[in-house]
Structure 1
Amino acid sequence: MYKYAQTNIQLYSQLRALNFDINAVELIFKAYELSLELFPSHFRANGRPFLCHLVGTASIMAEHKFRVELVAAALLHSVYLFGQFGDPRPGVTERKRKQVIAAVGEEVESLVMVYTEFPWSRSATGEYAIQFGQMSDRDREILIMRLANELEENLEFEMAYSRKDHLALYEGREDQLRSLALALVNDEFAVELNAVINPTQTSTVSERLKRTDRCLFSAVPTPWLHRVVAYLYKKRRKLNKLLFRFK
């Protein structure tokens, strides 16, 4: 069973039990309200409400007593990747940033922005495992958020209920992620993370219980015009990259 919060009410109760003051809880309330607005019908590939994942990631950050701005950023970490701002343009835009800043302030928004652009590949984690001691405080905080995200989305082996080959994401990276968790957080966190990304610990799930292989889907279809505009913007970015090579 989950030991971390999965609903906003559970998260507020956790924060109060951890002696976060009323101003901190109010900031998390504002972050949740924005998440509720931007992810109204989103689900993980396995069918779990996406808001549960966001709340759970924030709960992990709170449980390990990181500052409230990081907890709020963890609750909003995917807004620029998947949030429905009513703006068909994909990725980060000035309009989207202003909306997030208006809700939770510049510090939290800047953390979310850095998280969005933070490299997270097999080669990148290998470099972090070697060079984390030379990273800036801000990058170390973002790296911790990344680790919290990995832990949360693998609790109860939930990724096994997706048709995506989730174990391939961690093959050859287990030691790197474990060493980063140990160095940046604590022993308990490292043990938890190792347990959920270790292939030998993954339970067998019937194929009949597995859903889509998409990392995220919406129960409400995206308006067709938004899909068209998003497609055109992606094509334009690819064309710009191609033209840049020939300059």
Structure 2
Amino acid sequence: MPFVSKCPWLVFLFVISFSIMSGCSTVPNDGSGPAKAALLSNPPHSYVEKVDVGFRNQVGVIEAPEVTAYLDKVAQRLFKANVNPLPRVQLVSAGTSGYEPSIWVLPGGKIYVDVAILKRLQFENELASGMAVSWDISEGTEFRERLLSEGAKPTAESQSVWAIGEVEYQRAIESAVDRIYKAGYDPRGLVSFFDRTSKKKGDDLDTDMEVRKEKARRTVAFYAPLLNPIVHTEDFHKMKKRLERL
């Protein structure tokens, strides 16, 4: 290659340019390694924001300051050691958006609670349990992989991020029960949460929820009973009364 031998500076520039471009990549080419692990642990803010905006554009945001102040209090009891700034909760309505009523969590402490779910719950430990399992799903590798995939696109398909598999639920239940217990709540509320949010119709059982309930029961059985577990509070009762007026 006589031309290259006469122009070694071209080879040098090519090598430098390739190194710079490789260093600027947000996702490692091999899909693994320390750089990918760092991305999964701390997804780019722009990716999270893109998924967040897509979600908010699809659901109805409900302004209810007194209700959300209470929800913030529960969330901060559960997660205050995990994020800075403290987690914040937004009340929403899935309506006809295509989302099933649920509790959704994004990295960085963004929590969305569907008003339909909130109306079904009867005790504070059920609410705390629902937040906990949703939070631990958002900490999982599969969830973060989907978030990175959608966040890298010009327009994120937020529903794809929350296409949660049953294996993800099983793992999240284990860590959620531990989190619920350490926050002082009765972790049996997780069984009740799955029961109250089940999509069963008549005598037809929601098989996915039945599997989750059984997993929660088995996990809770490994924990010693709390002396004075939080099940219901006066604040929860007040929140439910305010919810009735929405």
- TM-score tier by shorter-chain length is 0.3 to 0.5
Q: Which has the higher strand share?
A: 2
Larger radius of gyration: 2
Q: If each structure's helix is expressed as a fraction of its own residues, which one has the higher value?
A: 1
Normalized against structure 1, the TM-score is what? 0.32
What is the TM-score of this pair, normalised by structure 2?
A: 0.32
